[in-house]
Amino acid sequence: MPVTNYKTNQEFFVDMQRCIGCKACEMACAECETNGHESMIHVNYIDRAVTIQTTVQVCMHCDDPACANVCPADAISKDEFGVVHTANTARCIGCSNCVMACPFGVPKKNEAYDLMMKCNMCYDRTSAGKKPMCATVCPTQALYYGTREEMAMMRPNSSPVNNFIFGNEKVSTKVNIMMPKGATELRVD
Amino acid sequence: MVFSLNKKALTNAIVVSLITIALVFYGSRKLQNFDPALIAYLFGTVFAFFGVVYRYSVWLQRPPTRMYFRRSLELIYNRKFFSHLVFFIKDFILNIGFQKFIYPRGRSRWIGHFLMAFGCTLAFAITFPLTFGWIHFTMNPATSIDPESIRLYEAHFFGFKIFEFELGSFIAFTVFHALNWSSWMVIIGVLIFMRRRLTQPGLIATQSFEGDLLPLVLLLAISITGLGLTYSYEFMKGFAYDFMAVTHAITVIMFLIWIPFGKFFHIIQRPAQLGAHIYKREGIKRGMAVCPHTGKEFATQMHIDDLKVVTKELGFDFTLEDGTSHLDLSPEGKRSRLAMAHLKARLENGGKLFG
Ligand code: SF4
Ligand code: SF4
């Protein structure tokens, strides 16, 4: 990667209880130059039959990314800042292994391109010291990008958590999810 | 990273290199038709074969690749082989021959890539057999006696005469200039891609010099010096011929040696895409997986089952307490379950929204 201005003291914080489903982030995501103007972020109803609650999902940028591990084409790589990059367009063979193996349901397969695409934390922006598009437009700050100190001041009753339990597997990530104060992990199922 | 030799891959690579050398020996009729001027190219090519086979063999041993490879072999020995074969041939022409999947990504991108791919393939198809001494041209014996009367040239493959053509004819012009056509195609393709890489902010942010730009520079150098060889003797009385010849040789050999390591390895990896298509096709026939959260079909059951095995081999265990797997969920189901777990944690903590 070229020389960057990536700010290592800034982190991503997600709080899905704040998501109002406005999809401003979807529009903003499509402005990102690195995904060729395709929106990568997910906003979906959790269980439309019983609730109008939506959830928002960005790539969590796992420490040991399942997506990269299961990729038969070595198309996904993690850089020195811990950003897990979208599929290398020359290598990806569109097998969807990553789509099905990611525990957070993040990668998208673009059938026409025969290519997987996913969030790479707006690398064109973050590598220039700017915040990701989605985090700059989210009206409820369900998506927030900044320092831990800022977050602690803004949300005194929350703790950022980056350990997730999926059955027998513990996944640690670069991106944080805001949890009730004192929590250290989120058990999914 | 500690580099350790992979024995299986090494054996494969040595065997393929030896077979290539044997084929060069016999294909050139015990070196009779071998052109010693091309010896450096030959070494470069054999090394490239060695490296490609080595890397490919290592690659096939990785759990996800091995799984696909195993499934592909199963299909080859299956009675449904022919139905898949027809699909394979069609898919090969469309996706490898014409790189159909690039077109939706952008028209100029497709044109550029197609020109580079076609130019390179054409050049490989000509230069490999030439370097190996498998193809050579001679003058027709009668022509040698009286060059003015007949002027026929003969093309030989593996020492057997394939066809003959008249000097100065259209065929002769096309045959002798084929490499120039391929150079022009590559040059135009490279320029289209360079423009993209130098102007698009998303690419500028994520590309690397050695991974993305150097390959283009190298292709450009090869094509320009290649063209220079012809134009130097056709139009410039041999001006700078030696310089062109040496630079051309160096860049081509760099290209060959680099195939197994860098960007150009995607040429070798790409056909795996066809395998992935057939895998999906076969999977659909066997049945789809239904997401327990959304209740909708989302992938083939074979894919999900295989992924459970592959993730375990890679050290991930998504097995849940009830014996099912987190991987049984569709991507949307997984996202919803995460949000539900978040809600559950909140409810256990008094249920109020927290900030
Ligand atoms: S969240 Fe999914 S896509 Fe993102 S790094 Fe982790 S496994 Fe890969
Ligand atoms: S879809 Fe592409 S990036 Fe994802 S696992 Fe398959 S080859 Fe790798």
Q: How confident is the model at residue B250 (pLDDT cuts 50, 70, 90)?
A: very high
Chain A, 122 to 141: residues with Cβ < 8 Å from chain B are 123-124, 127-128
**pLDDT reported for residue A125:** 93
CB-CB neighbours of B350 under 10 Å: 8
> Does ligand 1 have an atom closer than 6 angstroms to the CB of A102?
yes
Note whether B325 contacts A: Cβ–Cβ < 8 A: yes
Tell whether the model's pLDDT for residue B321 goes beyond 50.
Answer: yes
Tell whether the model's pLDDT for residue B151 goes beyond 80.
Answer: no
Mean local confidence (pLDDT), B228-253 = 87
A107 Cα nearest atom in ligand 2: 4
Task: Quick: pLDDT tens for A60-91.
Answer: 999 999 999 999 999 999 999 999 999 999 99
Tell whether the model's pLDDT for residue B1 goes beyond 50.
Answer: no
Chain-wide mean pLDDT for chain B?
A: 91
CB-CB neighbours of B207 under 10 Å: 16
Task: Quick: pLDDT tens for B30-44.
Answer: 888 888 888 899 999
Tell whether the model's pLDDT for residue A164 goes beyond 80.
Answer: yes
Tell whether the model's pLDDT for residue A130 goes beyond 60.
Answer: yes
Question: What does the alpha-carbon distance between residue B350 and residue B26 come to, in Å, rounded to a whole number?
Answer: 82
Note whether B94 contacts A: Cβ–Cβ < 8 A: no
ipTM for the whole complex: 0.94
- Atom 7 of ligand 2, residue of closest alpha carbon: A92
Chain B residues close to A1, C-beta within 8 Å: 206, 208
**Quick one: DSSP state of residue A142?**
S
Mean local confidence (pLDDT), A19-39 = 91
Give the domain CATH number at A91. Answer: 3.30.70.20
Mean local confidence (pLDDT), B171-194 = 93
User: Cβ of B331 and A106 within 8 Å?
Assistant: yes
DSSP per-residue codes, B40-52: HHHHHHHHHHHHH
Note whether B318 contacts A: Cβ–Cβ < 8 A: yes
Tell me the three-class secondary structure of B315-333, residue by residue: CCCCECCCCCEHHHCCHHH
Tell whether the model's pLDDT for residue B225 goes beyond 80.
Answer: yes
> Does ligand 2 have an atom closer than 6 angstroms to the CB of A87?
yes
- Atom 4 of ligand 2, residue of closest alpha carbon: A98
Chain B residues close to A33, C-beta within 8 Å: 200-202, 205
Q: Does A5 fall in a domain?
A: no
Tell whether the model's pLDDT for residue B232 goes beyond 90.
Answer: no
**pLDDT reported for residue B150:** 67
Q: How confident is the model at residue B169 (pLDDT cuts 50, 70, 90)?
A: confident
**pLDDT reported for residue B11:** 94
Q: How far is A149 from chain B (nearest CA, A)?
A: 15
Instruction: Answer yes or no: are the C-beta atoms of B257 and B47 closer than 8 Å.
Output: yes
Closest listed ligand to the CA of B318 = 1
Tell whether the model's pLDDT for residue A98 goes beyond 80.
Answer: yes
- Provide the number of structural domains found in chain A: 1
Percent of chain B with pLDDT over 90: 68
Task: Quick: pLDDT tens for B344-353.
Answer: 999 998 888 8
Q: Does A3 fall in a domain?
A: no
Nearest to B71 by CA among B289, B298, B309, B291: B309
Domain that holds residue A94: 10-187
Q: Does A4 fall in a domain?
A: no
A101 Cα nearest atom in ligand 1: 7
Closest listed ligand to the CA of B269 = 2
Q: Does A59 fall in a domain?
A: yes
Note whether B171 contacts A: Cβ–Cβ < 8 A: no
pTM: 0.90
Q: Does A171 fall in a domain?
A: yes
Kindly list the distances between the CA atom of residue A141 and the CA atoms of A111, B12, B124, B340, in Å, as whole numbers in the listed order. Answer: 32, 56, 55, 19
Q: Does A101 fall in a domain?
A: yes
Q: Does A2 fall in a domain?
A: no
Q: Does A66 fall in a domain?
A: yes
Beta strands in B41-180 (DSSP E): 135-139, 152-157, 160-166
How far is ligand 1, taken at its centre, from the CA of residue A102, in Å?
Answer: 5
